[in-house]
Structure 1
Amino acid sequence: MVKKIVLSLVCTGALFAGNTEVEQLKQQMAQLQKQLEQMQQHIAALEAQTPKETAVAEESLESMEKTSTASVTTLLPDIALILNGGYTSRNVGNDTYAAAAIPGFVEAGNMEIPFNAKDGFNFNYAEVAMSSTVDPYLDASAIFHIRGDGGIEIEEAYFVTRALDYGLRFKAGKFKSAFGRVNEKHHHAWNFEDQELINNALFGPDGLGGAGAQLQWVAPTSLYLMAGFELFNGNPYQGFSAKESASTAVGYLKTSTDVADATLLAGLSYAQGKSEVQNLDGLGDPIPNSFTNYGQTRVYGADLTLEYPFENYGQLIWQNEWMQRDKDVETLTQRQSGYYSELLYKIDENWAMGLRYDDIYQNRTGDSLTSIDHLHRTSVKLEYKPFEFSRFRLQYNQDHSKYIDDQAKTIHEVMLNYTLELGAHGAHAF
């Protein structure tokens, strides 16, 4: 009997224990089910939010990349490389041409010939130009001229304001003057392969300019009207004294307007500084870097350009400029005047041709104001531009402006030149 009771108790305990474990398992399964449902709800919520968060993250990353790129870009200036060279043929030898003179302007043997100096192949220069925005108020540029013989010079290096009120702009450093129509332009932007005769005779191949400051004002009118004033250190080889700083003053007034389909550009320019004349030795030869001051040097200029567009990128340009220099020498005033007239026909976006006539028609110099007038030159050109940044130019000159061994000499000259522009190059003056 006792055995039956004990056995019954054991079975009852076993059954009770089995029921307890089952209940525990059921509770655990219920908890797992609840956790699974919560996890599924959380996953669904995450899936709904992920595209938005991804887009925000991508936008944030893109913004960071742009900011980083912009920061790096602002530290790097735009850089351009310009190459120019070609082949030249003349009816005089290299030494004879180098010894030529322009009476009243350049003594025999003192003429600068920076481009196409030799009869044969010439590599004229490589020009490196750099420009950048410094800050919200200033831009800066520098142009380094590397001659074919390896010599390097700073052609221009200046800063210019970009946020002045009332149409004002200020520039300072070393730069070319905006006197006239072509003085400010660099060689690769010239209409012909050589400089206009009166510009070269008065200002030399580098043009009027140097270390100085400039202030320009654009009038708030529908008609474009710009006035400018500049101060430079004097250059005795241009007739201005170099003994006092800021001794050469330049002023100009420029305008442009549309006339029917054409554009008319005009300007008046003036430069003044103390005169400086090179001293001579007992044999009548110039003494290097020896000058004497006499009164004032005054240079007047006027220019007129008419541009008429055609279809298919064609264009006709008629450009004219006149200059006169009055230079006080002891009790006399020398007067030298000249002009050029260019007719340029751009056939299409690839081909162009041009005709130019230069004449120094008044050249009164010397103690008795003797005159060697009508130093003149005729030039024609044919130009091919495969693309915007490459150019090949064929030009012929019949030059009656040079004297060799004190005798007038007609020089026939043929030039075939190339110009290549690489990199980010700023726009040329209009």
Structure 2
Amino acid sequence: MLKHSVIAAALSAAVAAPQVYAADKKEQKELAEIRAEIRQMKQAYEARLQAMEQRLQQAQTDGAAAKAQLAAIAGGAPAAAQVAAAPAAAPYVETPAAPAAATASANTASNLFNPNISMILGGTLQNLKQDPGQYRLQGFAPSGGETGPGKRGFSLGESELTMAANIDPQFAGQLTFSLSGENEVEVEEAFIQTRAMANGLNIKAGRFLSSIGYLNGQHAHTWDFVDAPLAYQAFLGGQYKPDGVQAKWLAPLDQFVEIGAEAGSGSAFPGTDRNKNGAGAVSVFAHIGDDIGASSSYRAGVSYLHTGADKRAYEDDGLTNNFSGKSNTWIADAIYKWAPNGNPVNTNFKLQGEYFRRKETGTLNYAVDTDAAASGDYRSVQSGWYLQGVYQFMPAWRAGLRYDRLSSGTQRIGLIDNGTLAWANLPILEAYNPSRSSFMIDYSPSEFSRLRLQLARDKSRPGVTDNQIFLQYIMSLGTHAAHAF
């Protein structure tokens, strides 16, 4: 009996041995694979760390070379000698990516003082029911600036040529030309700004897009609609671009808090050139913003613009009138953006709006340089706003709605109050509340191109409705700076 038990145990052990061996072998193979993956991860991490160290050392070397070049320019010493005297980078372990990184750094160093050049090409086909030559914003004195829907048919639109570069470690500069379809060239922006000031402070000087409001600081090709809101046309002549100086302070907080001030010549609408020393216009602004969870964010702000006008002229019923006095404008702006988990590639939405309120006091001069010339007190409080929403419903495709409304408000005109004139003598200023509704859909094959269709129903004059159709293209060439939030 015992003999049979021993034989059975020996047979069982003989059968189980291959299975145990196979299991051990499988386990050893899995452990070997895990060890191999760990080695690969460690090697990749070390390679990336070495590459980052190389980039840091190369950046230090480039910085020393740039300072040497500047010293040579300023002091007349040979640049090559200054570069040779710059401290050499510390030795590093070369990786396969090093030659490419070194080439990129060399290219960066060689182009350190060369400007980036970008171009924006735009064009529009417009179908307008009403004659654009008769367009006006009833109740508001014309600004003479960028107002109205433009001309019928094909139009080249506004193109831009921008050159920007770092001047030295302390300053950067930018020059932007605007080219109209009528072959007119205008300096849209030409400014220098600081790069290395401490405590979140930044200074800009020259001609620049003012930071009042929200849309004003953005170039037209970044707008979500073909044209500017009616409030911008009525109160800022399209966009406010002062010649002067701007100071901004960014608070060292987790939230976005920005405070700034500007002082300019005052020649830009609603002001005029008054042939005076110092600042002819001042503005102040404050903006705050933050994230709302993982998918949403906002920015809100308030701005104030104080300027003056000396014989700010406009044509009305064949006569030239002008205004002299003070102009004060308040702007409140807000924008809300949503994208699932903060990723706007496939779908996103933004809601944007601004409110304007302007008060002007001074003198209205009627029919200047004619026998019917007369002058009297003038006072007005006018307002306007717009609200728009844009939804990207699939990659490359967006649709949006915008509603604009203006209120000509209360205008006290001394020449009418004392019976010298009637409202029939000042038809453009007669009270009215212009409005407009717009719909757009656009397609962007890439971040460099956009095609847009816009439909609008404009009621800027009493008893007249202008149905407008716009087809627009916007193309970007070259190196272009990132757009604001």
Q: TM-score, normalised by structure 1?
A: 0.77
> Match of 2:124?
86
Displacement after TM superposition at 1:344 (Å):
0.9
Matched, 1:244 2:276: yes
Matched, 1:358 2:358: no
Give me the whole-angstrom Cα distance separating, in 2, the residues matched to 1:359 and 1:67.
53
Match of residue 416, structure 1, among 471, 475, 478: 471
> Match of 2:372?
none
Displacement after TM superposition at 1:234 (Å):
1.3
Q: Is the 8 A contact 1:278 1:286 kept in 2?
A: no
Once the two structures are superposed, what CA deviation does each residue of 1:202-221 show, in whole Å capped at 9, x if it has no partner? 1112x112311000001111
Partner SS, residue 386 of structure 1: strand
Match of residue 481, structure 2, among 415, 426, 429: 426
Give me the whole-angstrom Cα distance separating, in 2, the residues matched to 1:247 and 1:62.
53
Q: Is the 8 A contact 1:83 1:420 kept in 2?
A: yes
Q: Within 5 Å, which residues of 2 pair with 1:9-408? A: 69-92=107-130, 96-107=131-142, 112=145, 117-205=150-238, 207-235=239-267, 237-239=269-271, 242-245=274-277, 246-260=279-293, 261-278=295-312, 285-286=319-320, 293-294=324-325, 296-310=326-340, 313-330=346-363, 331-365=377-411, 367=413, 372-401=431-460, 403=461, 408=463
Q: Is the 8 A contact 2:128 2:467 kept in 1?
A: yes
Displacement after TM superposition at 1:292 (Å):
5.6
> How many correspondences in the alignment?
361
**Tell me, which stretches of 5 or more residues in structure 2 are unaligned?**
1-92, 364-376, 418-428
- Change over 3 Å in CA distance of 1:241–1:168 after alignment to 2: same
Give me the whole-angstrom Cα distance separating, in 1, the residues matched to 2:309 and 2:261.
20
Q: Is the 8 A contact 1:158 1:175 kept in 2?
A: yes
Q: Is the 8 A contact 2:265 2:281 kept in 1?
A: yes
- Change over 3 Å in CA distance of 1:112–1:97 after alignment to 2: farther
Q: Which amino acid is 2:299 matched to?
A: L
Displacement after TM superposition at 1:242 (Å):
3.0
Q: Which amino acid is 1:231 matched to?
A: A
Give me the whole-angstrom Cα distance separating, in 2, the residues matched to 1:81 and 1:279.
34
- Change over 3 Å in CA distance of 1:220–1:90 after alignment to 2: same
Partner SS, residue 193 of structure 1: coil
Q: Which amino acid is 1:258 matched to?
A: D
Partner SS, residue 98 of structure 1: helix
Displacement after TM superposition at 1:184 (Å):
1.1
Counting aligned pairs with the same residue, the percent is: 26
Displacement after TM superposition at 1:277 (Å):
4.7
> Match of 1:42?
none
Partner SS, residue 112 of structure 2: helix
Displacement after TM superposition at 1:425 (Å):
0.4
Displacement after TM superposition at 1:237 (Å):
4.0
Q: Is the 8 A contact 1:241 1:273 kept in 2?
A: no
Q: Is the 8 A contact 2:139 2:433 kept in 1?
A: no
Q: Is the 8 A contact 1:126 1:147 kept in 2?
A: yes
Give me the whole-angstrom Cα distance separating, in 1, the residues matched to 2:101 and 2:383.
61
Give me the whole-angstrom Cα distance separating, in 1, the residues matched to 2:315 and 2:184.
31
Deviates more, 1:237-246 or 1:418-427: 237-246
Displacement after TM superposition at 1:389 (Å):
0.7
Deviates more, 1:386-395 or 1:65-74: 65-74
Give me the whole-angstrom Cα distance separating, in 1, the residues matched to 2:455 and 2:381.
30
Give me the whole-angstrom Cα distance separating, in 2, the residues matched to 1:384 and 1:374.
33
Aligned-residue CA RMSD in angstroms? 2.9
**Tell me, which stretches of 5 or more residues in structure 1 are unaligned?**
1-54
- Change over 3 Å in CA distance of 1:66–1:352 after alignment to 2: closer
Partner SS, residue 480 of structure 2: coil
Task: Decide which structure has greater strand share.
Answer: 1
Larger Rg: 1
Displacement after TM superposition at 1:418 (Å):
0.4
Q: Is the 8 A contact 2:335 2:353 kept in 1?
A: yes
Q: Is the 8 A contact 2:246 2:261 kept in 1?
A: yes
Give me the whole-angstrom Cα distance separating, in 2, the residues matched to 1:79 and 1:119.
32
Displacement after TM superposition at 1:329 (Å):
2.4
- Change over 3 Å in CA distance of 1:208–1:281 after alignment to 2: closer
Partner SS, residue 220 of structure 1: coil
Once the two structures are superposed, what CA deviation does each residue of 1:333-365 show, in whole Å capped at 9, x if it has no partner? 211100000011111330000000000034333
Q: TM-score, normalised by structure 2?
A: 0.68
Q: Which amino acid is 2:438 matched to?
A: S
